[in-house]
Amino acid sequence: MGTTIRRWMIVMIILLVVGGPVFAGGQSEVEKAGSPGKVEMRLAWWGATGRNEKYLAIIDEYQKKNPNVLITPEYQGWADYWGKMATMVAARNLPDVHQYTNNQLGEFYSKGAVISLEPYIQDGTIKLDDWNMGMVDSGRLDGKLVGVTIGITAPVMIINMTWAEELGIEIPPFDASFTWREFADWLKKDVQPKLPAGAYAFGDYGMAENYFWTWVRQHNAEWVDANGNYAVPQSVLEGWYGFIDDLRKAGVAPPLSFTAEDSGKARGDNAFNRRKMLIRPTNANQAKLEQQYMAVEGDRVEMRRLPRQEGASSARECLITSVLSIAANSKIPDEAAKFINFFVNDKTAQSIYNGEIGVPGSYTVQDMLKPNLDFAAAQEFDYINMVSTGSIPTVPKPQGIWAFDAEIQQMNQQVAAGNMTPAQAARATIERANKFLASLK
């Protein structure tokens, strides 16, 4: 296995140190006790300097309005955050309020690390009355809400519309729906022939883990079966590796060497920014960032939905949510719930946060923020509301699947390098996945 998956296996091993649920009763009943006098709360998240400044400003606002509360911030970069979280869950010392995405939420939930927030929804401590319920449900496991979203994103295709218009390429409307085969035919016949030499119509989606999650959802596949074995069918995996390989061989998507070099470039210098790639597979919250770094002045970035399977009514894009949860070991769950409600609903807090990690769930907050956003950021709001409405709920990944994402990416690289056929990669994926999942039992 590759370096990335070995790193996440270490995290999984830490999570398994105590064998079975870490927090007895953590998923169901946590007594709600009052905390008179001074209340000390720990809050943890991942992020870089800009995001950290926003969280710290929100903490300051909360403490001004609640002078009896002292919040201790704990934050790291992405990789360090998960290593520390794994250590703290084993030690039963998670921060009172802490952050997940639904890639990891199921992993920690399986250890009993977080509590149900349903009592706080029912008594009105956390108010979700004006929310997009598709976004709310992204933090639900076993029918219980265990995380409240602070931002939703989803896989998307971003397009350099200005460049497309200059080349005479007609781009489908914002809400267009088309199949993967229709998409491939369009790229081959109507897009790639109009591009200059050395440029590609579509990026290699092999590193886009949320594209794969969507692909699995589109095929109504499950991650694991009742016995804990890998359940994604071989045909689904073969189709995943095979589709992009077909585009590579047709010269529509770039070869492995191009993709590997481009993935190491800073924003502003990547192929999409510099008119070497017309359509980039990414997440919706990245569009506004790419827009800031377009090399040609005036280039306009727009979003389009992923293709759908034949006969399906929608693309079933997975919703990637970042949520705040309450630790099962918290002694102040009432105060923790009040802080979560402040973070996601207070207008001052949300003005500071300003859609930092994705689209907020509250329509009231969306209406407040949207008029001040640039085109790409505002379109992100429209896109997320579109793909989250009427779609099947995005259930957080079960234990082990998050760590195995890196192996899917490596198998795609093996196919791109010509070392495996899509069928061989599919068989190898299932074999490796079952060995990995067996190691977690």
pLDDT single digits (tens) 43-56: 999 998 899 999 99
Q: What is the pLDDT of residue 399?
A: 86
Q: Is the pLDDT of residue 327 over 70?
A: yes
pLDDT digits (tens, 9 = 90+) for 269-298: 999 999 999 999 999 999 999 999 999 999
pLDDT band at 1 (very low <50, low <70, confident <90, very high): very low
Q: What's residue 265's pLDDT?
A: 94
Distance from C-alpha of 182 to C-alpha of 187, rounded to nearest angstrom: 9
Give the model's pLDDT for residue 34.
45
Report the DSSP beta bridge partners of residue 75: 45
Helix locations, 187-286, DSSP H: 209-218, 234-249, 256-263
CA distances in angstroms from 440 to 113, 137, 165, listed in the order given: 17, 27, 51
pLDDT for res 391 = 82
Cα separations (Å) of 235 from 206, 295, 306, 335?
Answer: 17, 40, 20, 49
Q: Torsion-angle region of residue 390: left (phi > 0), alpha (psi -120 to 50) or beta?
A: left
pLDDT given for residue 41 in this prediction: 98
Instruction: Pick the more confident residue, 243 or 8.
Output: 243
Dist CA 25 CA 76 (whole Å)? 29
Which of 113-117, 269-273, 389-393 shows the lowest mean pLDDT across its residues? 389-393
d(CA 245, CA 248): 5
Residue 416 confidence (pLDDT) = 98
What pLDDT score does 37 carry?
A: 78
Structure confidence at residue 36 as a pLDDT band (50, 70, 90)? low
Indicate the pLDDT class of residue 30, thresholds 50, 70 and 90. very low
Question: Between residues 384 and 6, which one has the greater pLDDT?
Answer: 384
Element (H, E) at 222: none
Task: List pLDDT tens digits, range 147-165.
Answer: 999 999 999 999 999 999 9
Structural domains of the chain in order of their starting residue, each with its CATH number: 3-149+323-378 (3.40.190.10), 155-317+400-440 (3.40.190.10)
Render pLDDT for 331-353 as a digit per residue (tens, 0 to 9): 999 999 999 999 999 999 999 99
- Report which secondary-structure segment, H or E, holds 98: strand 97-101
Report the pLDDT value the prediction gives residue 18, as an integer from 0 to 100: 41
pLDDT mean over 291-314:
96
What is the predicted pLDDT for the residue at 167?
98
3-class DSSP state of 308:
strand
Cα 402 to its chain centre, rounded Å, is 11
Q: How far is CA 330 from the centre of its chain?
A: 26
Closest to 124 (Cα-Cα) out of 332, 321, 337, 310: 337
pLDDT at 28: 35
In percent, the amount of the chain with pLDDT more than 70 equals: 92
In the predicted model, what is the mean pLDDT of residues 175-192?
97
Q: Three-state DSSP class for 437?
A: helix
- Mean pLDDT (the chain) is 91
Q: Give me the count of residues in the chain.
A: 441
Residue pair 116/336 in contact by the 8 Å Cβ criterion: no
pLDDT, mean of residues 105-119: 94
Cα(70)–Cα(61) distance, integer angstroms: 12
Please name the residues in contact with 374: beta carbons below 8 A apart, sequence gap of 6 or more.
Answer: 288, 291
What's residue 440's pLDDT?
85
Residue 441: which pLDDT band, with cuts at 50, 70 and 90?
confident
When comparing pLDDT for 41 and 102, which is higher? Answer: 41
- The pLDDT tens digits for 236-252 are 999 999 999 999 999 99
Over residues 16-22, the mean pLDDT reads 46
- Give the C-alpha separation, 215 to 284, whole Å: 17
Mean pLDDT along residues 415-425: 98
pLDDT at 371 over 70: yes
Q: Where are the alpha helices (DSSP H) in 16-77?
A: 49-65
CA 67/CA 59 separation, integer angstroms: 11
